Amino acid sequence: MNTPTVTTPAVRRRQLMVTAIMALIVLVPSLLGFGNKFREFILLFRGDVDGVFAISPIMNYLLAALGFFCLFGWAMLHGMFHDIEEPKRHFLETERELDRRLPNPPIA
Amino acid sequence: MTLSLGRAADSSLEEAGAPQPAHLVDAQLVETRLVAFYFLAALAYLFISMLGGFLMALQLVHINPLRGIELLSPGRWRMVHTNAIAYGFLANAFLGALHWAIPRLTLKPVFNRTLSYLIFVAWQIVVVSTAVGIVLGQAQGLEWGETPVWIDPVALLGLVLVTINFTIPMTQARGPLYVSLWYFMAAFVWTPLTYAMGNFVPEYWVNGTSAGAIGGLFIHDLVGLFVTPLGWGLMYYFVPILLRKPVWSHGLSLVGFWGLAFFYPLTGIHHFLYTPIPMFLQYGAVISTIAVEMVVTTVIVNFFGTLRGSGREIVTNLPIRWFYTGMVFYAITCFQCALQTTMTFQALIHFSDWVVGHAHLVMFGVFSMWLLGIMTYLFPRLLGRDWYSRTLCEWHYWLSAVGLAVMAGDLILVGVFQGFWWGSLQMWDVSVDGSQPFWIVRVIAGVAMFAGLLVFLYNLYMTWRLSTAPAPETARLPAATA
């Protein structure tokens, strides 16, 4: 059996920083890019009737994104991200407990 | 920590008195027999798919053993090859692995076990009907959506029932959700929607360029919103168990999940660069694809961060080796994706064998490798016996991994040659003749992969035979190492 992983404040700070940096790298350029292209779409939609056919993939995306935005809000309100690292430890403990209940536990 | 598997399950454990076989204890939560059925069905379809691929590869080197039989013409075999891998192998193997993982993650059995068996039978009917429909010439004109129109409603109903059967226990799980459950939940919503979009919208509501755009979204969303979330969700489940330590950063894993949720749905149009689809949509697809590459980077960093300090497991732990080989291939395919979506590079490789190599790298090199690794880990637990031969397991891995690496590398290389031949306005025959040596190498690599599967099937058969014999006193379940 392995010893439980100890997460020190320094490690937690580092993990938080990596998470925040990666989130920014992903979010900022993507939101800028998408926002700009969406503005172009609106301009085209207003000025060219042929541009209407492009609405189906856009609506498809917006509906999917809206659904996930709602889910994200629900998850935040229900404390899903309160202790963001806890689920990984809880899940492994559960697995170990399930295996301990076996008459012949898997060979470690 | 004390767990309850439910009153019936707990009391049956206590009343048992004498130790029960391990696979029966697993069955308190997990319908182990159904997991095995799904895996066996998946392997049967993998055999058919590889056979179809082999026949297609022979056709390209001027050998067609089925010449003159219209029903088995190469064009139809090719569709059987791609559909059998998607809906036969991947879907069945995923469903089997989910029947194992979700009850153990939520500590709740699936919503209804009878429904699980019904779905299993219905899904096999869907897959076989699809193959028969394709062979009889009833394919829909949409890549990976060739399922005949009369089977589409049944397939969609099956996917909705899968969603109900798995989502109910997931909603009953207590506390913050582990990242695997986020991925699974998203996949159960995305997959029926994607299937409906691809199979019904172009068929009944839109046509022309708009249908082309929907087709592009469909084919890529099948990869990104069906296969990818299930694959990553299962990796986040199995890798920590096999390495016996938690994933490096759960927070980073959630960045990956939410990034996929928000950026993936628009990427599919990158399949239609240089088409009449408005340029802002094409550029939007390029940008969201690059955003997805960033998301992928977070996932790769997280898994290799988890492996840090346990590198030796790659050598000693066979399922882990399958998983991490798949992750290396995943990183390569995503790097390819970033190149492919640039307009300059797309002009070179469009319609060429580069794309075929890329598709094999994704479907076999990544997701099939992960699923075969999961099977390598779970079959001994399902059968209550260790593998008949560890050496044969090694052969399966090496034949598959090397065969795939050679095949993908070969096709990617010839794709570049083809792009330059066509770009320099050479005669079509020049590109076909020039491709011959590469296509011969592809046959050899495919034979190696096929041989790997046959070795695995033989090993599985012998293991099953041993499992039906009386167990010796010292028999133990295999642990995290296969």
DSSP secondary structure code for residue A48 in this structure: -
Looking at beta carbons, which residues of chain A come within 8 Å of B278? 41, 44, 51, 54
Instruction: Report if pTM > 0.80.
Output: yes
Which tens digit of pLDDT belongs to each residue from B364-379? 999 999 999 999 999 9
Looking at residue B64, its pLDDT comes to 87
Looking at residue B4, its pLDDT comes to 42
Looking at residue A103, its pLDDT comes to 59
Residue A108 banded pLDDT, cuts 50, 70, 90: very low
Q: If you compute the radius of gyration of chain A from its CA atoms, what whole number of angstroms results?
A: 23
Kindly state the average pLDDT of the residues B128-140.
Answer: 93
DSSP secondary structure code for residue A75 in this structure: H
Looking at residue B378, its pLDDT comes to 96
B452, two tokens: 């790997």
Looking at residue A53, its pLDDT comes to 63
- Interface probe for A, chosen from B163, B245, B250, B271 (most Cβ of A below 10 Å), is B250
Percent with pLDDT over 70 in chain A: 72
Residues with Cβ < 8 Å from B327, sequence gap 6 or more? B235, B300, B303, B304, B366
Which tens digit of pLDDT belongs to each residue from B170-180? 988 888 899 99
Q: Is the pLDDT of residue B18 over 60?
A: no
Which of B246, B247, B298 lies closest to A22 in CB terms? B298
Q: Which range scores top for mean pLDDT: B217-226, B343-352, B357-366? A: B357-366
Kindly state the average pLDDT of the residues B185-199.
Answer: 90
Mean pLDDT is lowest, of B201-210, B221-230, B306-315, B402-411, for B201-210
Looking at beta carbons, which residues of chain B come within 8 Å of A87? 175-179, 250
A77, two tokens: 């309100």
Looking at residue B246, its pLDDT comes to 95
Residues with Cβ < 8 Å from A67, sequence gap 6 or more? B189
CB contact under 8 A, A106 and B479: yes
Which tens digit of pLDDT belongs to each residue from B266-280? 777 777 788 777 777
Domain ranges of chain B: 28-175
Q: Is the pLDDT of residue B242 over 90?
A: yes
Which tens digit of pLDDT belongs to each residue from A23-70? 888 888 888 887 887 777 777 666 665 556 666 667 777 777 788 888
B475 touches chain A (CB under 8 A): yes
Which tens digit of pLDDT belongs to each residue from B281-304? 788 788 888 888 888 999 999 999
Residue B17 banded pLDDT, cuts 50, 70, 90: very low
Looking at residue B11, its pLDDT comes to 38
